[in-house]
């Protein structure tokens, strides 16, 4: 799967999410910025990949989800901290696991899929980020070491 | 014959000559797009981790000396990513990110038409024996400037433990950069993730060289670790992102190490033709590459003989530009490679090609060479670097007299005040100070030049000299080869 084919990672997501993902994905692909270095799926993931968080989460049988943040973000460390706080306080998210990159417009969180499936974590994050007029587009999920997989149906 | 008839005949002949020239079947277009391989196979990403050597392939060369071309039309190249501590200057142990566990990464040598089968495991999560202070594992990628492929497919970032495999055919001759393309790209390149691919023309170069070397210029932006971590008793240096963003390097070097090819000059003999493949990887500075004492007989800009200049003194290279330069060694001596932006040269972008140099020991790679005895105090380290950049042409330490005195023991027979004043204003002391006058006479009336050193630099030099004189006799040495 290509670097800039972000829309495809949402395949299989249900109902409104699928529509939203396709629209967001299309916007991402069609945007002039989408073809530049640093705007592709793996690059966005790289911007919020924290190996310590990944190891801790996978060691506990948890997963890590990576999202593109869609919307206008005011650049700055204050914004990054605010968004990280929002993500860390979303239901189902492992506290302290959220990582936000303003440059990459991406966020990652760890969660326990047995207690909170991906869909509920996504909805909880959308609710938090919606306050700032931001939407989240799922990119990939890591459930095992060294394996980034497309988001499955939920 | 009328004038009109003459013109008509002239134009007829001209048109005929041009037409024949255009249709000449004896000069095929070497850049015929229809004959290039532009149908690569999709990349494959897996969780299968390479083990063993970090770099593998018969086409790979480590260091400046290039191995002969591997005749195989398919080159298998493995360059795994690692995080390790390297020594970029005496006492400056830097937290680097690498391809193939070296900085620069190994040089790939091939020719037009060859197929490169590339694989890379992100092994940034593997612990370095004895060292636990490398940068945190992170995602990396590979961007080959020599390839014509979809970056979205081949150059994607992979997580620690993942392996990416892809292949491509070399369509153009040249010297091409490779580098990590994962954001922030600037940080990945400045941390050491770059190297060169040398692609020879399909039928070889038009000249025959006696010596062939690769020289890669790059910048480092280093600062002492804010956490004050140490490596073997020396301070750990980490990436200074503020300097990086402002393009203010602390070190500008050839082949990954400050003054590396001054300490270990490249050998050549009188009368030989030397071919240098020069690549400036930046990431942010240009290079005015020049070799003191000779003229470039040929310059092939970007390493392609079709882009030829003759009789050049300097070749200007922007970030990721390259050139192959050839020149003759006219007589015995040391020919000095410099970035003629001398601010860059003073940061370490200097090397020598010397008729007195011995061939390098096989399989020695600078990061694997035991560190020479160096100070650990950052001020003394800075003094050593300054001394080696500005003073080695005339002075040595422990290697005897040159144009000026051997400075071993200088802090034992001169006071700190005297040395400070001497370094600050030698021209005034030569008029008034008896010791200075005697020294001028002893050294054939060659005066010590005023180097315009700042007070801070003078303090650093003295710290270095004091460190030298505190070592067991004969163990701390410094000498230039010219």
Computed over every residue of chain A, the mean pLDDT equals: 80
- CB contact at 8 A, A144 and A57: no
User: A43: distance to nearest CA of chain B, Å?
Assistant: 6
**CA contacts within 13 A on the Cβ side of A60:** 16
ipTM surpassing 0.85, yes or no? no
Q: Rounded to whole angstroms, how far apart are CA atoms B298 and B435? A: 50
Res B130 pLDDT > 80: no
Report the share of chain A in percent with pLDDT over 70: 73
Span(s) in chain B for CATH 2.60.40.420: 35-203, 212-368
What mean pLDDT is predicted for residues A121-137? 96
**CA contacts within 13 A on the Cβ side of B324:** 27
Q: Where are the alpha helices (DSSP H) in B61-164?
A: 151-154
Domain B378-470 fold is: Cytochrome Bc1 Complex; Chain D, domain 2 (1.10.760)
CATH label, B212-368, candidates 3.90.550.10, 2.60.40.420, 3.30.750.80, 2.60.40.10 = 2.60.40.420
What mean pLDDT is predicted for residues B429-435? 88
Report the share of chain B in percent with pLDDT over 70: 87
pLDDT for position B382: 78
Flag whether residue B121 sits within 8 Å of chain A, measured between CB atoms.
no
Q: Which residue of A has its CA nearest to B43?
A: A1
CB atoms within 10 A of CB B215: 24
Count Cβ atoms within 10 A of the Cβ of residue B463 and give its class: 0-12 exposed, 13-18 middle, 19 or more buried: buried
Chain A, chain B: beta-carbon pairs less than 8 Å apart: 70
What mean pLDDT is predicted for residues B87-105? 95
Q: Rounded to whole angstroms, how far apart are CA atoms B173 and B202? A: 8
Domain B35-203 fold is: Immunoglobulin-like (2.60.40)
- CB contact at 8 A, B423 and B451: yes
Q: Rounded to whole angstroms, how far apart are CA atoms B252 and B336? A: 16
User: What does pTM read for this prediction?
Assistant: 0.74
Computed over every residue of chain B, the mean pLDDT equals: 88
Res B368 pLDDT > 90: no
What mean pLDDT is predicted for residues B243-255? 97
- The CA–CA distances, whole Å, from B179 to B150, B157, B186 equal 16, 12, 10
User: B159: distance to nearest CA of chain A, Å?
Assistant: 6
Span(s) in chain B for CATH 1.10.760.10: 378-470
Count Cβ atoms within 10 A of the Cβ of residue A154 and give its class: 0-12 exposed, 13-18 middle, 19 or more buried: middle
pLDDT for position B447: 84
* Token pair of A81 as six digits: 């901290």
Cα B280–B282–B288 angle (5° rounding)?
50
pLDDT in tens, B203-219: 999 999 999 999 999 99
Is there a contact between A103 and B49 if contact means CB atoms under 8 Å apart?
A: no
- For chain A, list the domains and their CATH numbers: 6-149 (3.30.70.100)
Q: Rounded to whole angstroms, how far apart are CA atoms B302 and B311? A: 17
pLDDT in tens, A79-90: 999 999 999 999
pLDDT for position B45: 95
- Higher local confidence (pLDDT), B409 or B72: B72
- CB contact at 8 A, B96 and B192: yes
Res B465 pLDDT > 80: yes
What mean pLDDT is predicted for residues B27-38? 87
User: B158: distance to nearest CA of chain A, Å?
Assistant: 7
Q: Rounded to whole angstroms, how far apart are CA atoms B28 and B5? A: 36
pLDDT in tens, A34-79: 333 456 889 899 999 999 999 999 999 999 999 999 999 999 999 9
Weakest-pLDDT range from B16-30, B100-114, B175-189:
B16-30
- Higher local confidence (pLDDT), B225 or B375: B225
Return the C-alpha torsion angle B40, B42, B48, B51, nearest 10: 20
* Token pair of B33 as six digits: 């797009």
Closest by Cα among B298, B300, B294, B322 to B175:
B322
Weakest-pLDDT range from B63-67, B121-125, B441-445:
B441-445
Is there a contact between A51 and B138 if contact means CB atoms under 8 Å apart?
A: yes
CB atoms within 10 A of CB B57: 22
pLDDT for position B37: 86
Could you say which of B47, B152, B158 has the minimum Cβ distance to residue A4? B152
Could you say which residues from 47 to 86 on chain B have a Cβ atom under 8 Å away from some Cβ of chain A? 47, 49
Q: Rounded to whole angstroms, how far apart are CA atoms B97 and B109? A: 22
């Amino acid at each position: 799967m290509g670097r800039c084919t972000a829309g495809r990672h949402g395949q299989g997501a249900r109902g409104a999410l699928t529509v939203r993902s396709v629209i967001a994905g299309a916007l991402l692909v069609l945007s002039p910025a989408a073809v530049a270095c640093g705007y592709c799926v793996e690059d966005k993931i790289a911007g919020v990949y924290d190996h310590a968080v990944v190891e801790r989460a996978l060691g506990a049988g948890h997963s890590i989800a990576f999202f593109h943040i869609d919307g206008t973000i005011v650049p700055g460390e204050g914004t990054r901290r605010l968004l990280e706080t929002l993500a860390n306080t979303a239901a189902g998210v492992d506290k302290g696991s959220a990582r936000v990159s303003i440059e990459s417009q991406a966020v990652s969180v760890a969660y326990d899929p047995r207690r909170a499936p991906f869909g509920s974590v996504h909805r909880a994050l959308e609710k938090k980020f919606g306050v700032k007029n931001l939407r989240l587009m799922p990119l990939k999920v890591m459930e095992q070491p060294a394996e980034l997989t497309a988001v499955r149906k939920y | 014959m009328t004038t009109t008839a003459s013109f008509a005949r002239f134009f007829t002949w001209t048109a005929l000559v041009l037409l024949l020239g255009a249709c000449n079947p004896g000069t095929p277009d070497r850049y015929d797009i229809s004959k290039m391989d532009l149908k690569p196979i999709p990349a494959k990403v897996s969780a299968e981790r390479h083990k063993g050597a970090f770099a593998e392939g018969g086409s790979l060369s480590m260091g400046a000396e290039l191995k002969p071309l591997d005749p195989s039309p398919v080159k298998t190249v493995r360059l795994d990513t690692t995080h390790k501590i390297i020594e970029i200057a005496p006492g400056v142990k830097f937290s680097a990110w690498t391809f193939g566990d070296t900085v620069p990464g190994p040089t790939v040598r091939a020719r037009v038409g060859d197929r490169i089968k590339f694989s890379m495991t992100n092994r940034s999560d593997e612990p370095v024996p004895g060292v636990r202070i490398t940068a945190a594992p992170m995602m990396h990628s590979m961007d080959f400037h020599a390839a014509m492929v979809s970056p979205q497919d081949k150059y994607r970032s992979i997580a620690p433990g993942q392996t990416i495999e892809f292949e491509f055919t070399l369509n153009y001759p040249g010297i091409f950069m490779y580098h990590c393309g994962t954001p922030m790209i600037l940080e990945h390149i400045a941390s050491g993730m770059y190297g060169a691919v040398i692609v020879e023309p399909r039928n070889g170069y038009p000249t025959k060289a006696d010596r062939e070397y690769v020289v890669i210029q790059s910048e480092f932006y280093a600062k002492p670790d804010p956490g004050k971590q140490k490596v073997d008793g020396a301070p750990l240096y980490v990436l200074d992102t503020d300097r990086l963003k402002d393009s203010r390097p602390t070190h500008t070097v050839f082949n990954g190490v400050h003054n590396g090819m001054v300490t270990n000059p490249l050998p050549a003999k009188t009368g030989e033709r030397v071919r240098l493949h020069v690549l400036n990887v930046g990431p942010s500075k240009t290079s005015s590459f020049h070799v003191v004492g000779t003229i470039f007989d040929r310059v092939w800009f970007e390493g392609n003989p079709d882009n030829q200049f003759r009789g050049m003194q300097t070749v200007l290279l922007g970030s990721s530009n390259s050139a192959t330069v050839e020149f003759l060694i006219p007589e015995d001596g040391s020919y000095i490679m410099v970035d003629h932006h001398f601010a860059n040269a003073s940061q370490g972008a200097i090397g020598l090609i010397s008729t007195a140099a011995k061939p390098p020991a096989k399989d020695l790679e600078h990061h694997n060479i035991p560190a020479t005895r160096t100070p650990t105090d950052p001020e003394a380290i800075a003094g050593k670097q300054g001394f080696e950049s500005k003073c080695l042409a005339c002075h040595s330490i422990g290697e005897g007299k040159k144009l000026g005195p051997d400075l071993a023991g200088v802090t034992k027979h001169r006071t700190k005040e005297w040395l400070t004043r001497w370094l600050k204003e030698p021209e005034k002391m030569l008029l008034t100070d008896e010791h200075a006058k005697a020294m001028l006479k002893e050294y054939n009336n060659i005066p010590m030049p005023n180097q315009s050193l700042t007070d801070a630099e003078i303090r650093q030099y003295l710290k270095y000299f004091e460190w030298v004189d505190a070592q067991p006799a004969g163990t701390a040495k410094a000498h230039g080869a010219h």
